[in-house]
């Protein structure tokens, strides 16, 4: 058999082999590296892979560890974990619920707003959904909310951490797309390519994030008018009303100033993401200290959680590097290029196919696993076909957010199921998520039709 064809067959089998092993429950990082090594041995036996290609791994690993941009990841994670463990996020949610409580649907609106604020501080979907599920779901059920509506609002708001800056997913995608875009541009004869930075992706995701928050709020307003029994008002007592202004100032203003300082410094070009993340980490500790919530136990929990999450992400990167080397050297790139280039509709047709594949993978894999496997394989072809790298990154983020919200396999639904009371059924959680999935699809359609919603702000700022 032709060695080129045989290599492409092996690369395709390796991709589906990795997916199959992950579905059996094997750890992601070791599955990526282990399955790739097995196919490397098989490929070497048939003469379609050379083990000398692995000499590039040391340089890649050193590059990941010395990449200044990626230093922002553990800092942003620490900032979010500190705000969660010091119960600042809980106080924020309870205060916002009082602020909107006199309105029908007001409690749901407060959950959406706080979900957006937590997304801008944690950037981690699971932590946001669990935090809001533990705090706001019991409060919404006590207020008489329909369990389906309450569950849907919490799941949807929790997934905003996927797309609203400073999402850790966007940081990694920006780093990958920057390198891929430079390679593509140079292969096309442009030896001074426009750089793609974390700030570009943050700016590109800003308006889509606000768009999603706006759609969620409109849905709550619609439910308040058409089905008021599902989201009744929760009026305050006279004593609570008297204390409200002070509570809002204490609970809302400091975290809001911190988020604005972090995001504003990045979007305004005042600080790099790493510098802004360090300010955010120190600021979160300062907020916890000012409220007498900072103790050795809280600090230890935050540090351990940050180290655990960061280690999980980076070990996946290391495994994905082995996969990428074997896949490319056996001809997988050529196979994907032929497949996507032959799609009807050109670049948009290819983009739709990639989005559908990633959407389905979102049912069985975590965000980081998907982007580390799929982006290096598909992004070079999509950028060669003329797609904007910032638009591509934001579209992937919104698409995976939608996948995480879609029954029956959405991760956000599983997170909420784990902390929801037993009398809230899984079926009710699924039913509550469906309207928000429709809103997500509307948002994706708008971003497809009007890509300027993503590309306009980065062009204005940079």
Look at residue 303 and tell me whether its pLDDT is greater than 80.
yes
Q: Is 386 exposed, middle or buried (0-12, 13-18, 19+ CB in 10 A)?
A: exposed
pLDDT at 370: 83
What is the reported pTM? Answer: 0.84
Q: Is the pLDDT of residue 123 over 70?
A: no
More confident residue, 304 or 1: 304
Q: Give how far Cα 58 sits from Cα of 41, 375, 458, Å.
A: 19, 21, 34
What value does the CA radius of gyration of the chain take, rounded to a whole number of Å?
23
The C-alpha atoms of residue 274 and residue 352 are separated, in whole angstroms, by 33
What mean pLDDT comes out for the span 276-296? 85
Percent of the chain with pLDDT over 90: 17
Residue 121 in this model has a pLDDT that exceeds 70? no
Stretch 277-298: mean pLDDT? 85
What mean pLDDT is reported for the chain? 84
User: What integer pLDDT is reported at residue 448 of this predicted model?
Assistant: 92
The pLDDT tens digits for 393-410 are 999 999 988 888 888 777
Predicted pLDDT of residue 311 = 86
- Among the listed ranges 223-232, 313-322, 407-416, 448-457, which one has the minimum average pLDDT value? 407-416
Distance CA 315, CA 29 (A): 6
For the segment 41-50, the average pLDDT, to the nearest whole number, is: 88
Beta strands in 37-138 (DSSP E): none
pLDDT digit string, tens, across residues 55-101: 888 888 888 888 887 888 888 888 888 887 787 777 877 787 777 77
Percent above pLDDT 70 for the chain: 98
Task: Return the pLDDT at 424.
Answer: 86
Q: What is the mean pLDDT of residues 179-195?
A: 81
pLDDT(347) > 70? yes
What pLDDT sits at residue 125?
Answer: 61
Our count of domains for the chain comes to: 1
Domain with 422 in it: 3-461
Residue 124 confidence (pLDDT): 59
Q: Judge whether residue 423 has pLDDT over 80.
A: yes
- Residues 311 and 316: their CA atoms lie apart, in Å, by 9
What's the confidence (pLDDT) of residue 71? 84
CB 313 within 8 A of CB 28: no
pLDDT of residue 437: 92
What's the pLDDT at 126?
Answer: 64
CA-to-CA distance for 5 and 48, rounded, in angstroms? 10
Q: What is the mean pLDDT of residues 122-150?
A: 79
Residue 122 has what pLDDT? 57
Checking if the pLDDT of 1 tops 70, the result is: no
Asked if omega into 408 is within 30° of 0 (cis), the reply is yes
The crossing angle, in degrees rounded to 10, of helices 389-405 and 411-419 is 40
Distance CA 29, CA 455 (A): 33
């Amino acid at each position: 058999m032709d060695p080129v064809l045989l290599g492409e067959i092996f690369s395709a089998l390796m991709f589906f082999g990795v997916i199959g092993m992950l579905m059996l429950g094997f750890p992601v990082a070791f599955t990526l590296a282990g399955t790739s090594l097995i196919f490397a041995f098989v490929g070497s036996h048939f003469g379609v892979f050379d083990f000398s290609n692995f000499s590039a791994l040391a340089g890649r690993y050193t590059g990941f560890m010395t990449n200044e941009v990626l230093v922002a990841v553990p800092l942003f994670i620490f900032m979010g974990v500190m705000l969660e463990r010091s119960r600042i996020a809980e106080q924020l949610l309870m205060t916002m619920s009082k602020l909107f409580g006199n309105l029908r649907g007001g409690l749901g609106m407060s959950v959406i707003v706080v979900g957006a604020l937590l997304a801008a501080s944690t950037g981690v979907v699971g932590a946001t959904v669990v935090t809001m599920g533990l705090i706001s779901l019991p409060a919404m059920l006590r207020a008489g909310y329909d369990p389906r509506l309450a569950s849907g609002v919490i799941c949807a708001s929790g997934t905003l951490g996927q797309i609203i800056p400073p999402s850790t997913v966007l940081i990694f995608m920006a780093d990958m797309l920057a390198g891929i875009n430079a390679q593509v541009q140079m292969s096309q004869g442009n030896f001074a390519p426009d750089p793609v930075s974390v700030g570009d992706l943050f700016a590109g995701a800003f308006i889509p994030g606000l768009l999603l928050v706006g759609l969620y709020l409109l849905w709550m307003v619609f439910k308040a008018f058409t089905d008021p029994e599902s989201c009744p008002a929760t009026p305050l007592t006279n004593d609570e009303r008297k204390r409200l202004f002070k509570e809002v100032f204490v609970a809302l203003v400091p975290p809001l100033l911190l988020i604005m300082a972090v995001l504003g410094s990045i979007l305004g070009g005042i600080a790099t993401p790493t510098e802004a993340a360090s300010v955010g980490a120190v600021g979160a500790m300062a907020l916890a200290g000012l409220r007498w919530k900072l103790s050795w136990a809280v600090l230890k929990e935050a540090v351990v959680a940050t180290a655990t999450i960061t280690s999980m992400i980076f070990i996946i990167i290391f495994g994905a590097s082995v996969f990428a080397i074997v896949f490319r050297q056996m001809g997988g790139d050529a196979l994907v290029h032929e497949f996507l280039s032959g799609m009807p509709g050109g670049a948009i047709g290819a983009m739709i196919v990639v989005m559908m594949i990633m959407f389905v993978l979102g049912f069985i894999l975590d965000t980081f696993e998907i982007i580390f496997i799929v982006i290096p394989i598909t992004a070079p072809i999509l950028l060669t076909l003329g797609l904007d790298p910032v638009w591509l990154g934001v579209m992937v983020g919104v698409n995976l957010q939608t996948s995480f919200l879609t029954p029956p396999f959405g991760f956000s639904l599983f997170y909420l199921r784990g902390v929801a009371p037993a009398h809230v059924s899984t079926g009710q959680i699924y039913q509550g998520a469906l309207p928000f999935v429709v809103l997500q699809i509307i948002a994706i359609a708008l971003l497809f039709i009007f890509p300027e919603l993503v590309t306009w702000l980065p062009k204005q700022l940079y």
